[in-house]
Amino acid sequence: MALFRTVSFAEQYPTIDGDRVYLRPPQMSDHAEWAGLREASRDFLTPWEPIWPADDLTRGAFRRRIKRYSEDQRNDQAYPFFVFRRADHALVGGMTLANIRRGCAQAGSLGYWMGASHARQGYMTAAVSMLIPFALETLRLHRVEAACIPTNAASIALLERTGFKREGYARQYLCIDGRWQDHLLYARLKGDGQV
Ligand SMILES: CC(C)(COP(=O)(O)OP(=O)(O)OC[C@H]1O[C@@H](n2cnc3c(N)ncnc32)[C@H](O)[C@@H]1OP(=O)(O)O)[C@@H](O)C(=O)NCCC(=O)NCCS
């Protein structure tokens, strides 16, 4: 029955091509560029993310990250992507469709980050717009959820621009930057149509 279908890819899930950026599954050879961008963006990103483990940017931690990503993808649990600028193939950010729930939910949660020097250039708007058809059509999800802290103006603008609707408010929803913080809840449903 279509509603309860899961999806599996023979090997790696596909790269998603767009005009300005493309989304590709992370791979071990991305480590140096990823670590450099994350380190350079530390002050920009850490107020909005879970606390980074002390060894987060090391090669060993990245190897474990890649292993986890590939297990998650094989089990249809999560689909991480790095965002690359088409013009020069530079890594500019990342996004993950995680916590996939099948059965009668057919839902997943979207998270994203942009390197500080690449912010406010429309890259994440493009990337989210490209991920939505992958989530709703290729993966056959019914709902993509996202949550953000009420003071995160950039994230709110991004979600509203890409067709997410505000659905609610969850108290102390996620532990971000070391504190349980309230979040606005957003979702984009299969029937919400093009933006
Ligand atoms: C949220 C984030 C991923 C947006 O990425 P981005 O590539 O800069 O987004 P875009 O350039 O596509 O911009 C999306 C919209 O947000 C607006 N915006 C971006 N930064 C903003 C800011 N600091 N304040 C207000 N609006 C902002 C943009 O102007 C754009 O809207 P508009 O074109 O209608 O004006 C990025 O700001 C980021 O990584 N922030 C820190 C980490 C974070 O917040 N992660 C998400 C946690 S929920």
pLDDT, one tens digit per residue, over 71-119 is 999 999 999 999 999 999 999 999 999 999 999 999 999 999 999 999 9
Confirm whether 179 is domain-assigned: no
Cβ atoms of residues 141 and 108 within 8 Å: yes
Nearest CA to 46 out of 171, 176, 180 is that of 176
135/79 Cα distance (integer angstroms):
9
pLDDT above 60 (res 4): no
Confirm whether 133 is domain-assigned: yes
| 147 alpha carbon – ligand 1 mean position (Å) | 14
In the chain, how many domains are there?
1
Confirm whether 183 is domain-assigned: no
Give yes or no for residue 157 CB within 6 A of ligand 1: yes
Confirm whether 7 is domain-assigned: no
Tell me, what's the pLDDT at 143? Answer: 98
pLDDT above 70 (res 11): no
Nearest CA to 119 out of 165, 148, 153 is that of 153
Confirm whether 61 is domain-assigned: yes
Nearest CA to 136 out of 57, 63, 60, 191 is that of 191
The token pair at 39 is 């380190």
184/152 Cα distance (integer angstroms):
10
What ligand 1 atom has the least distance to the C-alpha of 149?
48
Is the model more confident about 195 or about 149? 149
Collapsing DSSP states into helix, strand and coil, what is residue 168? Answer: strand
Give yes or no for residue 179 CB within 6 A of ligand 1: no
Tell me, what's the pLDDT at 195? Answer: 61
pTM (two decimals): 0.94
Confirm whether 22 is domain-assigned: yes
What ligand 1 atom has the least distance to the C-alpha of 128?
12
Give yes or no for residue 113 CB within 6 A of ligand 1: yes
Q: How confident is the model at residue 9 (pLDDT cuts 50, 70, 90)?
A: confident
Q: Give, using CA atoms, the residue closest to atom 1 of ligand 1.
A: 155
Give yes or no for residue 155 CB within 6 A of ligand 1: yes
| 9 alpha carbon – ligand 1 mean position (Å) | 31
Helices (H), 15-163: 31-40, 42-45, 59-74, 123-133, 153-161
Tell me, what's the pLDDT at 10? Answer: 61
Domain of residue 94, residue span: 13-142
Confirm whether 193 is domain-assigned: no
pLDDT digits (tens, 9 = 90+) for 33-59: 999 999 999 999 999 999 999 999 999
| 48 alpha carbon – ligand 1 mean position (Å) | 12
43/158 Cα distance (integer angstroms):
20
| CATH number of the domain bearing residue 55 | 3.40.630.30
Tell me, what's the pLDDT at 1? Answer: 42
pLDDT digits (tens, 9 = 90+) for 144-156: 999 999 999 999 9
Those residues with Cβ within 8 angstroms of residue 89's Cβ, 6 or more apart along the chain or in another chain: none
pLDDT digits (tens, 9 = 90+) for 118-149: 999 999 999 999 999 999 999 999 999 999 99
E strand or H helix at 82, and its extent? strand 79-85
- Rounded to an integer, the average pLDDT of 13-30 is 96
Give yes or no for residue 153 CB within 6 A of ligand 1: yes
